[in-house]
Amino acid sequence: MFSTEKYDPDLDTWTELKPMNVARRSPGVVAYRSKIYVVGGMGRHDDLKSAEVYDPILGTWSKFPYPMKQICGKIPESVGSSKAFFCPLFIVDFFTQAG
């Protein structure tokens, strides 16, 4: 799925956003430092090793510059009727403290 939407709980409405660059389903998603990262998932024919970043201030999706080294692992199909993927996402934030 290319499409993305934003929910406003104050207005109880959904707003359509610009579509992602790559159609994907069941990706890993995380919000970090005012951006949304969408990782892996399934494409039309293959599992994906790519990621995208949404910048809500600019209203744009961009390809994440670092491809995943391997495809996310599949959870056994007995978990549900559809295939599920386990995509761990680690974000390391380094900082220095004055003092």
Distance CA 18, CA 88 (A): 25
The domain locations on the chain are 5-84
* pTM > 0.75: yes or no: no
What is residue 59's DSSP assignment? T
The conformational region for residue 74 under phi > 0 = left, psi -120 to 50 = alpha, else beta, is beta
Per-residue pLDDT tens digits of the chain, which is 99 residues long: 678 888 889 999 999 999 999 888 888 888 888 898 888 888 888 888 888 999 999 999 999 887 676 555 444 443 444 444 445 555 444 444 454
